Chains A and B, each alone.
Chain A
Amino acid sequence: MSDTLMVIKQLDVSFQTREGLVQAVDGATLELKHGRIFGLIGETGSGKSVLGLSLVRLLPAHASVSGSLLYKGKDLLQLSPKEMRQIRGREIALIPQNPASSLNPVMTLGSQLREAIRAYAGRTGSKRLNAQAAGLLHAMNMPDAEQQLRRYPFQLSGGMKQRVLAAMGLAGSPSLLIADEPTKGLDALIRVQVTEMLANMARRTGAALLLITHDLDVARVLCDEVGVMYAGQIIEQGPAKELFAQPMHPYTRGLIASMPSRGMIPIAGTAPSLTDRPAGCKFYDRCGSAMPRCEAEQPDLYKSAHTEITNKETEPIDGTAKGQQAAAKHKARCFLYA
């Protein structure tokens, strides 16, 4: 299909540490499409940020990565570091997680933005550079963009720093943008602003957006498709609206029930350690509907039984047949659907 930008197949990432082998990502398979937002949700330590970093090959050297990352037909894992540098930032950009520590504290925003633009666009006059930098900030709804260029990161609030980082990410007009927790630590009103800005960006430029978040509301409202990660695996995947309306996996159901707006009913227990993951289903110890086979056997991704019905019920969004083709893909790694 022509709108597919990147296909990630059976991606495994592990780290050798003193405590043992940490399997951070286990068999992740997903597709990123032009103009679409794929949300990766999950809790701290579920492997979502590692997955994001592995797409731009920014993992530490001791990480071992296997599987394939087909970007426009090329496997990124086979590229040389030099070839990868041509793609990183220019074609695939990453908005890092921590706005406070991702900007250089002793450089003005302007010089940091100009540096990013120059890296991708080559030499240009300083006036043009400044105008472009201001334009990027302006596109992020930053008030007084020109004045902001002379300021330092410490003079900005968290939400503003987040927008500067997003602007830097967009400097190379990438076709895939990976945003790692863009709304973390932001308050309600800014959360709405930042998310809308990212969604508009994807729709306007036709870039694909991989949104890594633990903010379930943001994922539901913003994303076209969502993958839920738990202990390194994508345990459920499907169209956002359907996944939140009819979650399949017991973990997803528990996660949704623990949201403040859904009554905050906690899931018992804690996530397994990544060095010592259970052999069967990773959610086995905490699951209310566990069966004997779940302990030893690893479930595959099974399709939803409701797919046929929901197929007709889901109205196509944005006038495309997305509702239909996407609904067919709602699946979960759970024997309940085997």
Chain B
Amino acid sequence: MLEIIELHKRYRSNWLTGRGHQAVEPATFHIAEGESLGLVGESGSGKSTLARLLLKLISADGGRILYKGTDISGYSLKQMRPLRRELQIMFQHPHSALNPRRTLLDSLLEPVLLHRIMNKAAAREKALALLDVVGIRAELLPRYPHQISGGQIQRIVIARALMLEPKFLVLDEPTSMLDVSVQAQVTQLLQRIRKEFGLTYLFISHDLELVRHMCDRIGVMKEGRIVELDESERIMERPQHPYTKQLVNAFQAFKQ
């Protein structure tokens, strides 16, 4: 579905060292349709930058992105617009994901109205149907984000993404700010809608155990480089790269 070839990004800075920082080294990988690919690594390893690069939310310094066989790396903002529906992202912090001054209903409807896909009444109907899918009661809709919990916000964010019938979702640490029991609820929901709507995921997390649970394959990033990419079980059972070993061991340490 997505093919990434030699995609890279360098951030220039001169305030501290006068030098730049290679956020993402040339990365080459693919994501198959219906697959869930995990991306793990420590903070600052370039996971989020890589995800934003492949959605073209930030511009790459070089490399190519093939979406369903078409090279979209040279697309203008205008050309990207229809694709934004299909390629979406869900962010880490529930409290910055929604506009605090808008009701949940407004936030849910905004994307469809922006894309001019349907009128307000139809959008409303669709929103109500999706709320059922994500397990939110319709009474909550007139409320504002600060009046509901983090887990509920993430459900609303999921519903908002589904409003546009996406094909591919980047999940950027969607549960790292949630409690374990809420995390379990939200990941269960994410797995259910993947099957129900035939979605493809790029799942970013620093929790190896969680990624193993959610993903078919795992890529391990360190200092902007994908050091290892393999099937989840193989990464956990037989890590090859020293850094992957270190990471797997850190999780094993908590298992005894």
Chain A residues proximal to chain B, CB less than 8 Å: 43-44, 155, 157-159, 185, 187-192, 214, 216-218, 220-221, 254-255, 257-261, 264-267, 270
Contact = CB atoms under 8 A, between A and B. Distances in A.
B181 A188 contact: no
A220 B208 CA distance: 18
Nearest to A158: B43
A266 B179 contact: no
A189 B220 CA distance: 14
B213 interface: yes
A192 B253 contact: yes
B179 A44 contact: yes
Contacts of B182: 43, 266
Contact of A192 (B151, B207, B210, B250): B250
A255 B180 CA distance: 7
B44 interface: yes
A188 B254 CA distance: 10
Tell me what chain B mostly uses at the interface: helix, strand, loop, or mixed.
helix
A266 B188 contact: yes
A260 B150 CA distance: 19
The 4 closest A-B pairs by CB, nearest first: A258-B184, A266-B184, A43-B179, A217-B254
A264 to B, nearest CB: 4
A318 B115 CA distance: 64
A218 B176 CA distance: 16
Contact of A214 (B179, B187, B255): B179
Most buried by B among A155, A158, A257, A270: A270
A44 B151 CA distance: 11
Contact of A258 (B44, B180, B206): B180
The bracket for how many chain B residues form the interface is 20 to 34
12 contacts: A44-B179, A188-B42, A191-B250, A214-B180, A221-B256, A258-B180, A260-B213, A261-B251, A261-B254, A264-B183, A264-B184, A264-B188
B208 A264 contact: no
A189 B181 contact: no
A189 B184 contact: no
Contacts of A218: 254
B206 A188 contact: yes
B247 A44 contact: no
B181 A266 contact: yes
A43 B182 CA distance: 9
Contact of A221 (B149, B151, B247, B254): B254
Interface in B42-73: 42-44
B185 interface: yes
A151 B173 CA distance: 29
Contact of A216 (B180, B188, B213): B180
A38 B212 CA distance: 31
Nearest to A263: B213
B209 interface: yes
Contacts of A188: 42, 206-208, 247, 250-251
B222 to A, nearest CB: 11
